Chain A
C-alpha cells in the first residue's frame, strides 16, 4: 500500500540506495542519532522478546513427557505433563487454506469491480464499506459467527455431505452443529477480505494507462484488457496482499475460539466439529493455566511465529522472482 509513489517511477530503479551524507548541521546530526538509536532499540527489544520466549519454551519442552510435535493432546497440568502441537498446526494450516481459497478470488473480483467496472459514484462507497469490515473487532465476528453463521451453515453442510461426500473432505461422519474448521475458514475468509481487497485494488489502479489503452486500441474487450494487462501486472501485488491476509488468518484468535468446537483429534473431514488452532488454544487455555502451562502455551506460540515467518519468507521469494512485472512490489 505504501508503494503508491514508487510505482510512478519507471521499473529501472536508480542503482543501489545511497546513504544520505550528513551535512554537518546540528539538526541532521540529532536526527541521525535519534533514528539510529530507535532502530537499534527496536532490534534490542525484539531480540530480548525472542530470548525470553525461547527460554520459557525450552523449559516447557524439556519437561514434556509426550512428543512436542506428534502428541495429540494438550495437558501440561496432568501428571505426567503431556502436550503436542500436531493438531494445532494442522488446524491452523487447514482453516487458513480454506479461508484463502474462498477469500482471494472474491477479493480479486471486488477489487476488479471497484477499479475497472463500477461507475465512480459506486466505486468509492463499495471500497469504503469493504474497508470498514476490517474495523469490526474479531470478537464481534466470533459472536456473529456463533449465533448466525453456525445455524445457517447446517443446511450447506448437509448439502455438501450429500453431493460431495465422495471427496472424503466433505464427508460428515459425526453429528453436530457446524462448529468445524470449515466454518472457521468461512469466517476467516470474511475477516481477511478487506485487506486483500484493498491492497489488490491499489495495485490494479496502478496499471499503466498506456498498457490498457494499447490493448483497447487493438480491439480488446474489457475482460481481455483485464486478462492481458491488469492481471499479469497485478499478480505479485495480489500475492503479497494474499500473504498479508494469510498472516491475519493464521493469527486470528477470538473469532476462532468462539466458533470452533475444539478437540485434540486430526480429521480431514472438515465438516466434523473438532480441531484447533494455535491462537485459539492459547486463548482457551491461558486463563486456567499454571506457570508451567503458560510456558507450554508460549512454546506453541513460538511455533506459530516460525510458521508465519516461513509464510512471509515464501511470499517474498515469490514476489522477488516476479520482480520484472512488479509495479507494486510490496
Chain B
C-alpha cells in the first residue's frame, strides 16, 4: 500500500514537472516570437542604419488595419534593429478596433483603411487634449481582382463589367460584355462564382468606393465595410477569398495583391479607358494614387482618390491606409517614439521597403507633406 502511494506521488511529481516544463518552454517560445524572426532580413537591417532614433524610448503600442500588417512587420523589425531599447507592438486587428483603441487612449497611433469619420474625429478630441486625430497616408496598395478559369490565362474587364459581375447581373463567363473586352479569348459557358469578404472589411469598402465612382450606373450600393449586394458567396478574410478563388473553377474575387502573388492567382487587367488595359502592380497603383487630392483640412492629410483616372499605366482600384495620430496633444511618453518611427516609415528608405512586400509607396508630392506633418507633431 505504502509503496503504491509512493509511486503515485512520484508520478504526480513527474506530471507536474512535465506541465511546468512545457509552460516554461512555451513562454520562451512566445518571447522569441515577439522579438521577431530574422529570417532573410540581414541585408535589409543593414540598409536601415540611417534611422534616426532621437527621442525614441520605451514601449509604443499601436493597433489597427490588417491590410498594412506586412508593411508594419518589416518597418518594426528594421526600426527595432536600429534603435535598441525601443519596443513597438503593432497589433493588426482591424481598422475599427484600431480607431476604438486610439480614441480610448490606449495606443500611440492607429492604422486605418479609411480616414476618420467626423464623429470619430469628435471622439478623438478627448484623447488629444489640445488637438484632434489626423490621418497620415502611409501605405498604398492595389486591390487585385483574381479569377480562376481553366483555359483562360489573362482577362481584361472594365468597371461596369466588374460591377455587374459582383452584383451577379452577369452570370456566365461567355457573356457578351466580357467577350467584347477580351477579343480572341476562349471564354467557356460556365457560371461565374463571385466571392466576397464575409466579415466587415476595409477592402470591401474600398472596392465599393471604386465601383461607385467608376461605374455609378451599375453599382448603386453605398461604400460600406459590409458586403452590400445580395448575391455571390462569402469567405472569411482575404486569405479565405483567395483560397476559394484558387479552389473553384469559375470563381472571381478581390484581395490585396500580395495574396494573389503568394497563391499564384491570375489577376484581372482593368480597362480604364486609357491607351491599354492596366495590370495590378505596386508601381501602377502608385501612379493612380498620384492623381489623388488631399481633402483633409489643417494637418489632416486624408486623400480623395481619383478612381476614374485614365492616365497611362495607372491602376485605379487602389486603397490607401492611414496612420492616425494626434496633431497636437500626443502623449508625452510616446511622442518621441511615434515621431521617430513614422519619420522612418515615411522616409524614402521606409517607402522603398513597401514595394518588396507588394504595397505601393505614397507618391512624392503627398509624401513630402506627410513628412512635414510628422515633424510638426507635438
Contact = CB atoms under 8 A, between A and B. Distances in A.
B193 interface: yes
B199 A284 contact: yes
Given A177-B193, A290-B96, A291-B100, A273 B233 contact: yes
B248 A262 contact: no
A23 B261 CA distance: 75
B244 A284 contact: no
A287 B200 contact: yes
Contacts of B234: 179, 260-263
Nearest to A75: B226
A177 B244 contact: yes
Contacts of A146: 235, 240, 243-244
A232 interface: no
B240 A289 contact: no
Given A261-B233, A288-B94, A176 B201 contact: no
Contacts of B224: 75, 77-78
Contacts of A261: 198, 233-235
A263 B193 CA distance: 15
Contacts of B235: 146, 179, 261
Interface in A131-175: 146-147, 150-151, 175
A257 interface: yes
Nearest to A175: B191
A285 B191 contact: no
B230 interface: yes
B97 A287 contact: yes
B199 A287 contact: yes
Interface residues of A, number: 28
A109 B113 CA distance: 52
B236 A257 contact: yes
B225 interface: yes
Nearest to B195: A261
A289 B100 CA distance: 9
Contacts of B97: 287-288
A285 B200 CA distance: 6
Given A287-B96, A291-B100, A77 B225 contact: yes
Interface in B157-211: 171, 191, 193, 198-202
B198 A284 contact: yes
A258 interface: yes
A319 B221 CA distance: 52
- The size class of the interface chain B forms with chain A is 20 to 34
A80 B100 CA distance: 21
A179 B243 CA distance: 13
Given A77-B225, A284-B198, A290 B248 contact: no
A273 B248 CA distance: 14
B200 A151 contact: no
B193 A285 contact: no
Contact of B233 (A75, A177, A257, A287): A177
Interface in A273-298: 273, 283-285, 287-291
Contacts of A176: 193, 233
B233 A179 contact: yes
Interface string B88-113: 00000111110010000000000000
A74 interface: yes
A265 interface: yes
Residue in B191, B233, B244, B247 whose Cβ sees the most chain A Cβ within 10 Å: B233
Contacts of B230: 263, 265
B243 A289 contact: no
A151 to B, nearest CB: 6
Given A146-B240, A273-B233, A262 B198 contact: yes
A289 B247 contact: no
A279 to B, nearest CB: 13
Interface in B302-347: none
B245 to A, nearest CB: 11
Contacts of B200: 77, 284-285, 287-289
A95 to B, nearest CB: 15
Interface string B233-277: 111100010011001100000000000000000000000000000
Contact of B236 (A78, A147, A258): A258
Given A74-B226, A177-B248, A261-B234, A288 B100 contact: no
Contacts of B244: 146, 177
B121 to A, nearest CB: 14
A146 B199 CA distance: 16
Contacts of B248: 177
Given A78-B224, A146-B243, A288 B95 contact: yes
Contacts of B236: 257-258, 284
Nearest to B251: A177
Given A176-B233, A177-B233, A287 B94 contact: yes
Contacts of B199: 257, 283-285, 287-288
A290 B233 contact: no
Interface in B83-138: 93-97, 100
Given A147-B243, A258-B236, A287-B97, 4 more contacts: A78-B222, A262-B234, A285-B199, A290-B100
Question: Which 6 A-B residue pairings sit nearest by Cβ, starting from the closest?
Answer: A288-B200, A284-B199, A261-B233, A288-B96, A175-B191, A287-B94
28 contacts: A75-B226, A77-B200, A77-B224, A77-B226, A78-B222, A78-B224, A146-B235, A146-B243, A146-B244, A151-B247, A176-B193, A177-B193, A179-B234, A258-B236, A260-B234, A261-B198, A261-B234, A263-B234, A285-B200, A287-B93, A287-B94, A287-B97, A287-B200, A288-B95, A288-B200, A288-B202, A290-B96, A291-B100
